[in-house]
Amino acid sequence: MNAEILATGDEIRTGALVDSNSAHIAEVLTMHGLEVTRHHAVGDNLNALTAILVEIAGRTDVAIVTGGLGPTRDDLTAEAMARAAGCELQLNDLAMETVTRFFRERKRTMNASNRKQAYLPQHAEVLDNPVGTAPGFVLKIDKCTFFCLPGVPYEMKKMLKDQVLPHVAALSGGVQNYCRVHTLSTFGFVESAVGEKLSGLETLFPDITVGLRAKFPEIQIKLYWKGSDEPRGMQTLEAGGAWVAEQMGDRLFSTGDQTMAAVVGDLLVARNASLAVAESCTGGLISNWLTNTPGSSNYFLMSAVTYANSAKMNILGVSADTLNSVGAVHEKTAEEMACGARRAAGADFGLATTGIAGPDGGTDEKPVGTVCIAVAGPEQTLSKRYLFAFGRRLMNKRIFAMAALDMLRRVLLNLPVL
Amino acid sequence: MNAEILATGDEIRTGALVDSNSAHIAEVLTMHGLEVTRHHAVGDNLNALTAILVEIAGRTDVAIVTGGLGPTRDDLTAEAMARAAGCELQLNDLAMETVTRFFRERKRTMNASNRKQAYLPQHAEVLDNPVGTAPGFVLKIDKCTFFCLPGVPYEMKKMLKDQVLPHVAALSGGVQNYCRVHTLSTFGFVESAVGEKLSGLETLFPDITVGLRAKFPEIQIKLYWKGSDEPRGMQTLEAGGAWVAEQMGDRLFSTGDQTMAAVVGDLLVARNASLAVAESCTGGLISNWLTNTPGSSNYFLMSAVTYANSAKMNILGVSADTLNSVGAVHEKTAEEMACGARRAAGADFGLATTGIAGPDGGTDEKPVGTVCIAVAGPEQTLSKRYLFAFGRRLMNKRIFAMAALDMLRRVLLNLPVL
């Protein structure tokens, strides 16, 4: 079955609000075997809304509409649906009960305007909203079954799961279709290089479609499989995933959608090792990423974000000689920082970054985008200088932090450092 | 002029990626007086893409298309545009030059697949992409002028501003309509409380419409004005903004869209003061936010992200007695951390957080969501305990970090601490 998604509301139309509902709905429908073909958004305008509903009604099997069910004048979904269906709005007793119950249970006074929420198109079937004031409804127009849900994400998600999905399963008449996805995460190739490395995939695995997703600076490879024989699908995806992993080599850091920081965390846990970080140009981003993972306190001891040279000396014991002779941005300084962090925290590994994130501070010798990264471990300390050409401060911080975590990952796995 | 927006890509169609590009484009076009009527999204499917382009071409004046300009096989925008226009793809010399230049300037090798990016529909006019490999293009089909831009947000935004807007202004033939917006940023009220405080606004200022935008944990208030008399509009917005500022009191932290970290940075610069941070539960997020602002090295000296108690003692000089008697999460510990960071870095101010971000580690006495924040300054040290009830680790980190920066802002401005 094909499905379309329609988000309504002037905030979305004018861009004051990013529509995240539609992505959620698309993901849920796709996982349940529906083919989502289009997303749309229109504003709080009766004619515009009616027109697009009529178009959708003639084109697809299932449509999910969000927003416009509230009590105010600019909530127009029920009226537009009635027009598109060529019927009238009428007071729906079940909807009225739902609205009344919401206010009674919360001991809140019901406004006159809330009564409006109980007027639904004739023949519409109420969808209960246990967590908000606006009931939803189902209505078939032409060949399409419309599910109208509130725009509040929490209410919408609950109703989608509890009421829309069983309804949709019934519509499909018992034929179960699945869509399964296998995600692999890489760092170190640009998108076009990943695309080229995967060029044989669709010949070898004709049942798999592939999508690349750039989550700067990593690139995720997503393998999709669709069909009714789920065990076969999972086997196919596993074989396809193994082939992709071979193409990507050590630039694959997760055969899932784990973050690089979580992967490094798992490697540290497996080795029963602890980590201390010394950050200059990454400004705390590495430790922010590391501590986004629950349980990171098991291996992450500290990060010293030493922006000032005095802090590099006082906290990390970087020598004044080094800073004077080679400067703050240098492999030697990075090594002293990594060793200093490791020593100060009594950690097994030290990881350090020092570089120039920009927009200012670059020189001919060390332009913006230069970063020196060092890893200090129980056996050896190594360091390397990189030049990334992304220009913007926030992008530089991200790729510096990612490159640093990747260097540590490579050391922990005895892989060559890039 | 009417405008529609089309996002392309299977990630968006299947919900793997939330489309934030369309909201940005809608906002920019609306600000420049265009009436955005519809947003759409379709996947990487030549027929689906061509069909919707043909529909749009017959309906609207201007369309912005994002995505599908990359080097891989699932990048189909140019081909679909050519089909919709009923013409052929051909090698565009200017586009080829753009692609070649990108690789030359970055001393990177150009892949064969990158050549594909230089094939554009006949009669298409190239839009230079100074920051990425994929050039965009303009093409008129039927009554509609299409602007095809890359899906990478940074590239898209730059090209929209520098190239699409001047083009659109020329299309409008000199009739200028404006939409102006005034943004104010607040922290400390929930959205419904902000809404209530502003309830008189639209009566007092009938030409202004107001929108609230939750950028957790801050809430931005956006005042919109539309019309042709721009100076009058600016005056109206200024008066409306002053009224809003009065309603919000000291919970307003920016009469613009500055981040809290940038506001604190400006206050430190104005006082010629420096800052050292000691973070536990915020895990580097405060220093990451502070260092996102260019020039932060002028006041930010260091952050010690001391997850382990040993690091709190060794780096910050927190006493073992304190940790043993009151524990890591306590006002007294926060104060010793703030003083320790200030002393270790020789900074004017110290700011510290220690708390429980979750999901584990909470107790009856100190549940998940508890945070102790301290500010140490030249004259005094103060601290406070808060309990936030958002539950999720990443949300807790954000609100803890925001509350800490807000406390420092209040100290720097001699405002009462919340």
pLDDT of residue A228: 85
Residue of B72, B287, B308 lying closest to A283 (CB–CB) = B287
Residue B60, amino acid: T
**Interchain contact, B37 vs A13, CB within 8 Å:** yes
Q: Which of A244, A28, A11, A78 is nearest to B14 (CA)?
A: A28
Contact assessment for residue A317 and residue B317, using Cβ atoms and an 8 Å cutoff: no
Pair of tokens at residue A135: 């009931």
pLDDT attached to residue A211: 82
**Contact at CB, B302 and A311, closer than 8 angstroms:** yes
pLDDT at A179: 83
**C-alpha–C-alpha distance, residues B78 and B92, integer Å:** 12
Q: How far is A283 from chain B (nearest CA, A)?
A: 5
| Cβ contact, residue pair B305, A292, below 8 Å | no
What are the helix (H) ranges across A116-221? Answer: 153-159, 165-171, 191-197, 201-204
Give the phi and the psi of residue A199 in degrees, each rounded to 5: -65, -25
In whole angstroms, give the CA distance from residue B416 to residue B394. Answer: 28
Select the residue from B288, B298, B371 to test the A interface by mutation, using most A Cβ atoms within 10 A.
Answer: B288
Residue type, B289: W
For residue A281, the one-letter residue type is: C
**Token pair recorded at residue A267:** 């490697």
Tokens 């940075």 belong to which residue? B265
CA distance B45 to A303: 47
Per the document, the length of chain A is: 418
Mean pLDDT, chain A cut into blocks of 10 residues (418 residues total)? 96 90 94 93 96 97 95 88 96 90 81 84 94 91 96 92 93 78 94 90 93 87 89 95 97 96 98 98 98 96 96 96 97 98 97 96 94 97 93 93 98 95
A25 touches B: beta carbon within 8 Å = yes
Residues of B in contact with A209 (CB under 8 A): 10
CB contact under 8 A, B294 and A192: no
Query: Are A208 and A224 contacting, i.e. CB atoms less than 8 angstroms apart?
Result: yes
CB contact under 8 A, A305 and B302: yes
Token pair belonging to A182: 């296998």
Name the residue type at position A124: A
Q: Which of B7, B3, B2 is nearest to B52 (CA)?
A: B7
- 235-294 in chain A: CB under 8 A from chain B: 276-277, 279, 283-288, 290-292, 294
Q: Work out the minimum CA distance from A259 to partner chain B, whole angstroms.
A: 14
d(Cα A243, Cα B230) in Å, to the nearest integer? 60
Look at strands B144-149 and B381-387 and give their pairing.
unpaired
Backbone angles phi, psi at A262, to 5 degrees: -70, -35
Task: At A363, give phi and psi (nearest 5°).
Answer: -130, 175
Instruction: Select the residue from B220, B303, B349 to test the A interface by mutation, using most A Cβ atoms within 10 A.
Output: B303
Instruction: Kindly give the residue spans of alpha helices, DSSP state H, lying in B87-204.
Output: 93-105, 112-115, 153-159, 165-171, 191-197, 201-204
Of B30, B211, B302, the CB nearest to A304: B302
Compute mean pLDDT per 10 residues along chain B, 418 residues long, and list them. Answer: 96 90 95 93 97 97 96 91 97 91 84 87 94 92 97 94 94 77 92 85 92 84 88 95 97 95 98 98 98 96 96 96 97 98 97 95 94 97 92 92 98 95
Interface of A with B in 171-200 (CB under 8 A): 181, 191-193, 195-196
Q: Which of A20, A192, A393 sits opposite B111 (nearest CB)?
A: A192
B222 forms bridges with which residues in the sheet? B183, B211
Task: Tell me how crowded residue B200 is: count the other CB atoms within 10 A of its CB.
Answer: 10
Name the token pair of B147. Answer: 């602007």
Burial of B175 (0-12, 13-18, 19+ CB in 10 A): exposed
Burial of B190 (0-12, 13-18, 19+ CB in 10 A): exposed
The verdict on a CB contact (< 8 Å) between B213 and A48 is no
A394 contacts on B by Cβ (under 8 Å): 292
Q: What is the pLDDT of residue A214?
A: 79
Q: d(Cα B52, Cα A237) in Å, to the nearest integer?
A: 31
Q: Please tell me which residue of chain A has the smallest CA distance to B214.
A: A17
Contact A311 B283 (CB under 8 A): no
Tokens of A28: 């849920």
Q: What is the pLDDT of residue A215?
A: 84
The enclosing H or E element of B223 equals strand B218-227
Is B211 in the A-facing interface, judged by CB distances under 8 Å? yes
Question: Which residues of B are less than 8 Å from A307 in CB distance?
Answer: 291, 296-297, 300-302
For residues A296 and B307, the answer to whether their CB atoms sit within 8 Å is yes
Partner A contacted by B311 (CB < 8 A): yes
Tokens matching residue B121: 């529909």
B41: contact with A, CB 8 A cutoff: yes
Subunit contact A11:B211, Cβ cutoff 8 A: yes
Q: Which amino acid is present at B269?
A: V
Residue B394 main-chain phi, psi, to 5 deg: -70, -35
Interchain contact, A300 vs B307, CB within 8 Å: yes
Q: What are the structure tokens assigned to A184, written together?
A: 């692999």
A393 φ, ψ to 5°?
-55, -50
Q: Label residue B70 exposed, middle or buried (CB < 10 Å: 0-12, 13-18, 19+).
A: buried
Q: Do B305 and A283 make contact, defined as CB atoms within 8 angstroms? A: no
CA nearest to B349, candidates B275, B287, B406:
B275
CB-based contact (8 Å) between A90 and chain B? no
R_g of chain A, CA atoms, integer Å: 28
Count Cα neighbours of A35 within 13 Å in the Cβ-side half-sphere.
12
Locate tokens 């919109």: which residue? Answer: B224
Reference A404, options A274, A294, A264; nearest CA is A264
CB B48 within 8 A of CB B79: no
Q: d(Cα B353, Cα B369) in Å, to the nearest integer?
A: 12
- Alpha carbon B115 to chain centroid, angstroms: 33
Q: What is the pTM of this model?
A: 0.81
Q: Which of B59, B58, B104, B52 is nearest to B83 (CA)?
A: B52
Residues with Cβ within 8 Å of B142's Cβ and at least 6 positions away in sequence, in order, are: B57, B58
Q: Give the integer Cα–Cα distance in Å for B213 and B221.
A: 6
Complex ipTM tops 0.85: no
Structure tokens at A385: 């200088």
A281–chain B nearest CA distance, Å: 8
Closest residue in chain A to residue B109, using alpha carbons only? A193
Within 10 A of B332 (CB to CB), how many other CB atoms are there? 18
Judge whether B360 is closer than 8 Å to chain A, CB to CB. yes
Sheet containing A178-186: give its strands across: A208-215, A218-227, A178-186, A252-254
B308 and A297: CB-CB below 8 Å?
A: yes
Alpha-carbon distance B292 to A350, whole Å? Answer: 24
Enumerate the β-bridge partners of residue B64: B5, B147
Angle between helices B393-412 and B260-270 (to 10 degrees): 20
Encoding tokens for residue A388? Answer: 């990334």
Residues of B in contact with A212 (CB under 8 A): 72
Are A383 and A331 in contact by the 8 Å Cβ rule? The answer is yes
Collapsing DSSP to helix, strand or coil, B274 comes out as coil
Distances in whole angstroms, Cα of residue A111 to Cα of each of A93, A133, B298: 17, 11, 55
